[in-house]
Amino acid sequence: DIQLTQSPSFLSASVGDRVTITCRASQGISTSLAWYQQKPGMAPKLLIYAASTLQSGVPSRFSGSGSGTDFTLTISSLQPEDFAAYYCEQLNTYPSTFGQGTKVEVK
């Protein structure tokens, strides 16, 4: 199975900060990577797919980049509603796999 390693696992930030989360795959996955946001007690919500395509309705402060094995999710200016957990998922090869997550907390 392809392993995804996210970093950091926890991130303390303030409103207005620029936040970057990385996801590294154990082997090349082209651009077949999605990013999700999850708030407590809720289902994950798709933010980005194909590494850099913004899902409809998602604010433009979210962006993604990368290909092959290294990917990033960037929030350009953190908003109060962005404090949540974030997960990457590779869909290049089944079984699909998720990263272990990054929790973005209030500093």
- Which residue ranges make up the site for other proteins (CB under 8 A)? 30-32, 34, 36, 38, 43-46, 49-51, 53, 55, 87, 89, 91-92, 94-101
For residue 87, the minimal CB distance to other proteins (Å) is 6
The number of angstroms, rounded, from the C-alpha of 35 to the middle of its chain's C-alpha atoms is: 4
d(CA 105, CA 107): 6
d(CA 98, CA 60): 23
For residue 56, the minimal CB distance to other proteins (Å) is 9
Provide the residue count of the chain: 107
For residue 95, the minimal CB distance to other proteins (Å) is 4
63 phi, psi to nearest 5 deg: -145, 155
Q: 7 or 77: whose CB is closer to other proteins?
A: 7
For residue 100, the minimal CB distance to other proteins (Å) is 5
Q: 16 or 43: whose CB is closer to other proteins?
A: 43
Please list the alpha-helical segments (H only) found in the chain: none
Q: 15 or 91: whose CB is closer to other proteins?
A: 91
81 phi, psi to nearest 5 deg: -80, -5
Q: 16 or 94: whose CB is closer to other proteins?
A: 94
